[in-house]
Amino acid sequence: MNKKVAFYTLGCKLNFSETSTIARNFQNEGFDRVDFAEKADIYVINTCSVTENADKRFKTIVKQAQKGNPEAFVAAVGCYAQLKPEELAAVDGVDLVLGATEKFKLTDYLNDLSKNDKGEVHSCEIEEADFYVGSYAIGDRTRAFLKVQDGCDYKCTYCTIPLARGISRSDSLANVLQNASEIASQGIKEIVLTGVNIGDYGKGEFGNKKHEHTFFELVQALDRVEGIHRLRISSIEPNLLKNATIDFVAQSNSFVPHFHIPLQSGSDKILKLMRRRYLSNLYVDRVNRIKQTMPHACIGVDVIVGFPGETDEDFLETYHFLNRLDISYLHVFTYSERDNTLAAEMENVVPKHIRSKRSKMLRGLSVKKRRAFYEDQLGSTRTVLFEGENKEGYIHGFTENYVKVKAPWNPELVNTLHQVQLTEIAEDGLVRFNFVSEHVLA
> Domains of the chain: which residue ranges?
4-124, 128-256, 260-376, 381-435
pLDDT at res. 118: 61
**Residue 269 pLDDT class (50, 70, 90 cuts):** very high
Q: Count the Cβ atoms, other than its own, within 10 Å of residue 229.
A: 18
pLDDT at res. 362: 97
pLDDT at res. 181: 94
Side-chain half-sphere CA neighbours of 427 within 13 A: 0
pLDDT at res. 125: 59
pLDDT at res. 204: 81
Which of 35, 98, 96 lies closest to 69, judged by CA?
A: 35
pLDDT at res. 390: 86
| Alpha-carbon dihedral 220, 224, 227, 230, rounded to 10 degrees | 30
pLDDT at res. 117: 59
Inform me whether the pLDDT recorded for 262 exceeds 80. Answer: yes
Inform me whether the pLDDT recorded for 81 exceeds 60. Answer: yes
Which stretch of DSSP H or E encloses residue 89?
A: helix 85-89
**Cα–Cα distance measured from residue 322 to residue 330, given in angstroms and rounded to the nearest whole number:** 9
Q: Quick check: helix, strand or coil at residue 268? A: helix
Fold of 260-376: Transcription Regulator spoIIAA (3.30.750)
Inform me whether the pLDDT recorded for 357 exceeds 60. Answer: yes
Spatial contact of 6 and 42, defined as CB atoms under 8 Å apart = yes
What does pLDDT average to over the chain? Answer: 90
pLDDT at res. 259: 97
Instruction: Say how many residues make up the chain.
Output: 442
**Each residue's pLDDT tens digit, 390-408:** 888 999 999 999 999 999 9
User: Looking at residues 303-318, what average pLDDT do you find?
Assistant: 97
- Look at strands 120-122 and 96-98 and give their pairing: parallel
**Cα–Cα distance measured from residue 428 to residue 435, given in angstroms and rounded to the nearest whole number:** 21
pLDDT at res. 339: 87
pLDDT at res. 177: 95
**Cα–Cα distance measured from residue 137 to residue 148, given in angstroms and rounded to the nearest whole number:** 12
**Residue 108 pLDDT class (50, 70, 90 cuts):** confident
Percent of the chain with pLDDT over 90: 64
- Higher-pLDDT residue of 140 and 349 is 349
Inform me whether the pLDDT recorded for 112 exceeds 80. Answer: no
**Cα–Cα distance measured from residue 223 to residue 238, given in angstroms and rounded to the nearest whole number:** 22
Put simply, whether the predicted model's pTM sits higher than 0.95 gets the answer no
**Residue 165 pLDDT class (50, 70, 90 cuts):** confident
Point out the least confidently predicted range of 138-142, 343-347, 416-420. 138-142
Point out the least confidently predicted range of 3-7, 12-16, 267-271, 311-315. 12-16
Inform me whether the pLDDT recorded for 301 exceeds 80. Answer: yes
Q: 78: phi > 0 → left, psi -120 to 50 → alpha, else beta; which?
A: left
φ and ψ at residue 97, rounded to 5 degrees: -125, 125
User: Looking at residues 418-431, what average pLDDT do you find?
Assistant: 94
Inform me whether the pLDDT recorded for 198 exceeds 60. Answer: yes
Angle at 378 between CA 376 and CA 379, to 5 degrees: 125
**Cα–Cα distance measured from residue 77 to residue 45, given in angstroms and rounded to the nearest whole number:** 6
pLDDT at res. 25: 86
**Residue 255 pLDDT class (50, 70, 90 cuts):** very high
pLDDT at res. 101: 76
User: Looking at residues 179-198, what average pLDDT do you find?
Assistant: 92
CATH 3.30.750.210 fits 128-256, yes or no: yes
Spatial contact of 155 and 202, defined as CB atoms under 8 Å apart = no
Torsion 211-217-222-225 (CA) sign: negative
pLDDT at res. 88: 87
User: Looking at residues 376-400, what average pLDDT do you find?
Assistant: 93
**Each residue's pLDDT tens digit, 313-331:** 999 999 999 999 999 999 9
Which of 229, 270, 223, 268 lies closest to 250, judged by CA?
A: 223
Beta bridge partners of 441: none
Inform me whether the pLDDT recorded for 167 exceeds 80. Answer: yes
Same fold, 4-124 and 260-376: no
Fold of 4-124: Rossmann fold (3.40.50)
- Distances 384 to 6, 210, 250, 398 between C-alpha atoms, Å: 32, 39, 18, 5
pLDDT at res. 228: 92
Q: 429: phi > 0 → left, psi -120 to 50 → alpha, else beta; which?
A: left
Inform me whether the pLDDT recorded for 209 exceeds 80. Answer: no
Spatial contact of 91 and 64, defined as CB atoms under 8 Å apart = no
